[in-house]
Amino acid sequence: MTKAKRNIVITGGAGFIGSHVVRLFVTKYPEYNIINLDKLTYAGNLANLKDIEDKPNYKFVKMDICDFEGVYKLMQEEQIDGVIHLAAESHVDRSIKDPFTFARTNVMGTLALLQAAKLYWESLPERYEGKRFYHISTDEVYGALEFDDTLFTEQTPYSPHSPYSASKASSDHFVRAYHDTYGMPTIVTNCSNNYGPYQFPEKLIPLFINNIRKGNPLPVYGKGENVRDWLYVEDHARAIDLIFHKGVAAETYNIGGFNEWRNIDLIKVVIKTVDRLLGNSDGHSLGLITYVTDRLGHDARYAIDSSKLQRELGWEPSLQFEEGIERTVKWYLENQEWLDGVTSGSYQKYYEEQYNNR
């Protein structure tokens, strides 16, 4: 890799949000070296980055963030001065079935990264000057809101209700503790639900697009009345870019779309859009909706107040939801090979071979 103005490691860069962040940084900042560190679990897919994999300022490293020795060595060899930490287990249903994996990756993995960065940066003459450890978290750490006009702010107390959100809350506390104890320049952001291209099709929107395409049932938890705030993934990536460069150390910023939808209403918009783009009659796929037993500990409502980020750094979402959904549905319908490769699992073998042969 070329001599760079900055050397930044992005963890989880082969995942959904991570791949968008990696692509943005690699293309926008050719003077930076971007190291994509990813374990390539089921949700990591190098096909997400095929368009930038040969860029001179991009490097992929297959590594588990829990591998402290490996991460510490990488920090030293690549002279890392910035960490953007997205790697995480994130699916609530999986966390209910296997909480240990979530605690290991989300808590111990974050701790390994923090300690590796601390030891490396403290060994340098300038120590923490010009360094940044940016940790991406979730709105789920705040718990649940009533069906009213309240919003999660940066001052909302933590009240996680699932093993997933509990593991993320713990990792957030460790990040803040490293600032308070050691003076590490950390930042934490809490974001609402993301949607867009390259999302693993276990999540609601790509799952439903794929099921409609195949005529399969659309499983809706409970009565579909749970409310979520939705943000287009490229808007999130723009926010991460802005906060990494302009955010104030030790601060927390909430990132949301000011875009609340009941699940059932969102699903009907997705159905209507997919049916139209497939040439089906209006309402053709509504009969695929199947109500299933509600998820354990299913929070009623999440909604993020992004006004601090808008006020202090000037960020706001660029897309209206209908435009974002239109783009998203078109992408999945136009990239059925990617979607079929992910749902079949063939992507893992192919890109593992590609990586091993590079």
* Integer Cα distance of 247 and 21 in angstroms: 16
Q: Is 164 a catalytic residue?
A: yes
Query: What tens digit of pLDDT does each residue of 186-233 get?
Result: 999 999 999 999 999 989 999 999 999 999 999 999 999 999 999 999
Distant-in-sequence, close-in-space partners of 287: CB < 8 Å, separation ≥ 6: none
pLDDT at 357 (0 to 100): 52
Smallest CA-to-CA distance from 22 within 234, 297, 292 is with 234
Q: Which of 2-16, 32-46, 173-187, 341-355 has the lowest mean pLDDT?
A: 341-355
Distances (CA, A) of 1 to 33, 57, 271: 7, 6, 45
Q: Is 139 a catalytic residue?
A: yes
pLDDT at 70 over 60: yes
If pLDDT is split at 50, 70 and 90, which confidence band does 344 have?
confident
Query: What tens digit of pLDDT does each residue of 31-67 get?
Result: 999 999 999 998 899 999 999 999 999 999 999 999 9
pLDDT at 343 (0 to 100): 83
If pLDDT is split at 50, 70 and 90, which confidence band does 356 have?
low
Q: What integer is the mean pLDDT of 9-19? A: 98
* List 164, 198, 332, 347, catalytic entry: 164
pLDDT at 181 (0 to 100): 98
pLDDT at 346 (0 to 100): 75
**pTM, rounded to two decimals:** 0.95
Cα Rg of the chain (Å, integer): 20
Query: What tens digit of pLDDT does each residue of 251-301 get?
Result: 999 999 999 999 999 999 999 999 999 999 999 999 999 999 999 889 999
**How large is the angle between the packed helices 336-344 and 346-356, nearest 10 degrees?**
90
Q: What percent of the chain has pLDDT over 90?
A: 90
pLDDT at 186 (0 to 100): 98
pLDDT at 348 over 80: no
pLDDT at 297 (0 to 100): 85
pLDDT at 121 over 70: yes
End-to-end CA distance of the chain: 15
Q: What integer is the mean pLDDT of 297-323? A: 95
* List 139, 172, 260, 299, catalytic entry: 139
Average pLDDT, the chain: 95
Query: What tens digit of pLDDT does each residue of 76-111 get?
Result: 999 999 999 999 999 899 999 999 999 999 999 999
pLDDT at 358 (0 to 100): 54
Smallest CA-to-CA distance from 17 within 162, 175, 140, 191 is with 191
